Amino acid sequence: SNKPIRVVITGAAGQIAYSLIHQIGNGDVFGKEQSIILHLLDITPVMGVLNGVVMEIQDMSLPLVKDVIPTDSEEVAFKDVDVALFVGAMPRKEGMERKDLLSANVKIFKSQGTALDKFAKKNVKVVVVGNPANTNCYILAHYAPSIPRENFTCLTRLDHNRAKAQLASRLKVSSSAIKNVIIWGNHSSTQFPDVRSATVSINGQETAVYDAIRDDQWLKNDFVSTVQKRGAAVIAARKLSSAMSAAKAICDHVRDWWYGTRENEWVSMGIISDGSYGIEKGLVFSYPVEIKNGQISIVQDLQMDDWAKGMIEKTQKELVEEKNDALKATNSE
């Protein structure tokens, strides 16, 4: 196959990476022709664990994987990478306040942003997964000024997929029949899962999800809160956060960026706002996007009622606060 691309995964000894690496190495994301060099970054204390992961990668015997580089060095990890998946982050620990969590993550993403800026290819495609994903992405971009703003994204595709799955289950259709749901805003419980423009295909006939479900109350209440709280529900059940579904969503996100989205079909991504829909410019905000030739563009001119505007306002407010707290933390370093 052709020249290998370099893909870095941070938090490579963790549980999302454990599901993610196989799919990337197997050609599920960049195609069966594209060979890959995997850069795996984690912290020094888990280098032994990471070595076990490397052994398993060898044992999968994947023809597309040309080399694996496990490391605890940011320089080695980010050197010449084409795609950077920021999965590792500081987890919230018992009794930790949001401010402490933010400042721990600011430290990590400041350091990694600086290294990315210095060592990665200038056209590197960035996806931040580690929470708080939007704000971590904001800080990363802030410290990597030589990389174009449109190359920074954060993951809200898992929320998007969860929304599709809830609608599909309610309508008793395959989730592939559901199109154009939107996740607006923060990857947090203030996110706004919006089905206003969503359609469902039933026997080849496209119908608005609103008309197919005919239950305004369910769509505005139970549906929204189920999607908003799905991550917490998985943690409560599994005692661990979503990993299999998160890894799958990362693959969907990156594959769509690499190959483009389908005609008249959009997906949700956290991107650096250009001010669309009245969102503060520069904020990392989840929008409905279409992708062509690697260019991400926001779907424009969607109509919104006052309820939807209120939902968007709420998640924006939370993101502005997070961003301001994060910036404060960078100053106090």
Binding site for ligand NAI (CB under 6 A): 10-11, 13-16, 41-43, 46, 87-91, 108, 129-131, 133, 155, 158, 187, 241-243, 246
Residue 186 DSSP SS3: coil
Shortest distance, position 301 Cβ to ligand NAI, whole Å: 27
CB of 137 to ligand NAI, least distance (A): 10
* Cα–Cα distance measured from residue 176 to residue 156, given in angstroms and rounded to the nearest whole number: 18
245 or 273: CB nearest ligand NAI: 245
Least distance CB 296 / ligand NAI (angstroms): 17
Computed over its alpha carbons, how large is the radius of gyration of the chain? 19
Minimum CB distance to ligand NAI smaller for 207 or for 330: 330
**13 or 68, CB closer to ligand NAI?**
13
In this structure, the strands spanning 178-179 and 199-202 are antiparallel
Which residues are known binding-site members for substrate? Answer: 92, 98, 131, 162
Measured CA to CA, the distance from residue 319 to residue 185 in angstroms comes to: 8
Q: Which two tokens stand for residue 244?
A: 């299999």
Query: Annotated binding site for NAD(+), which residues?
Result: 42, 105, 129-131
Q: Work out whether strand 36-41 and strand 5-10 pair parallel, antiparallel, or are unpaired.
A: parallel
Distance separating the N- and C-terminal Cα atoms of the chain: 46
Of 142, 160, 187, 253, catalytic? 187
Reported as type and span, the H/E element at residue 286 is strand 284-292
187 is catalytic: yes
- Give the residue ranges of the annotated binding site: 42, 92, 98, 105, 129-131, 162
CB of 286 to ligand NAI, least distance (A): 10
Q: How far is the CB of 293 from ligand NAI (least distance, A)?
A: 26
- Residue 120 φ/ψ, nearest 5 degrees: -80, 165
Strands (E), 43-100: 65-71, 83-86
Is the CB of 118 or the CB of 292 nearer to ligand NAI? 118
CA distance linking residue 24 with residue 4, whole number of Å? 13
Pick between residue 116 and residue 213 the one whose CB is nearest to ligand NAI. Answer: 116
Is residue 318 within 8 Å of 190, Cβ to Cβ?
A: yes
Nearest to residue 250, comparing CAs of 267, 235, 263? 267
Half-sphere exposure of 110 (CA within 13 A, CB side): 14
Spatial CA neighbour of 254 closest among 4, 78, 9: 9
Active site residues: 187
